[in-house]
Homo-oligomer: A and B are copies of this chain.
Amino acid sequence: MKEQRNGLLLVVSGPAGVGKGTLDKALMERNHKIKMSVSATTRAPRPGEIEGVHYFFKTEEEFKTMVERGEFLEYMHVFGSNYYGTPRSFVEQQLANGYDVILEIDVNGAMNVKRSFPDAVLIFITAPSMSEIKSRLIGRGTETMEQVEKRFATAFEEIKMIPHYDYVIVNDVVDVAVHHMEAILEAERCRTARSAFVSEAIEEIGR
């Protein structure tokens, strides 16, 4: 048997306000072999932000070189704004050390990751209904109605991408939703394609 199995890359998406961060945090508290992916960015560090913990801070030139070298699982650049990306090396290093890695990312980023890392497991987090998504956005009270409408329109577009995800978790009760995430991790480790038994048995049969 392999001495240590590789971790899984979990890609987590979902509309604003559905509690993705809460679930990620709860999952990590209950499972100590899970880490969040750390993004690279060209924006300046804010007070208290630590290199390699909150972000990998890069100059635009460094970032572009990484892009050219194919060092990102995905990256994005809003014109006139900063670059953000997911360094492949950090993720692969954690996976090789047996850590599962959570990558919380929007639907476009998730589709790019799926292309560059087909073994990723895509999970879409949602509230129980569209109307619940809207009331959670309003309930946050941090945005104007115009911003809420805009976010809700975005949520609509995101929901349409669900068929590209492997799993959908309805975050109604946090403990239940976290249990679903744990079950998905455990089940995915039993997937035939990932089974160490299969490759070893077929090798043994060949002898």
Q: Interface residues, chain A, CB within 8 Å of chain B?
A: 1, 124, 126, 128-131, 156, 159-160, 162-163, 165-170, 179-180, 182-184, 186-188, 190-192, 195, 197-198, 200-202, 204-205
| Complex alpha-carbon distance, A179 and B185, angstroms | 12
| Complex alpha-carbon distance, A118 and B81, angstroms | 47
Q: Is the CB of A198 within 8 A of B168?
A: yes
New A-B contacts (18) at CB < 8 Å, excluding given A160-B205, A168-B195, A179-B186 = A128-B197, A129-B197, A129-B200, A129-B201, A159-B202, A160-B202, A163-B192, A163-B198, A165-B192, A167-B190, A168-B190, A168-B198, A170-B195, A170-B197, A182-B183, A183-B184, A184-B190, A187-B187
Chain B positions within 8 Å of A191 at CB level: 166-168
| Closest Cβ–Cβ distance, residue A133 to chain B (whole Å) | 9
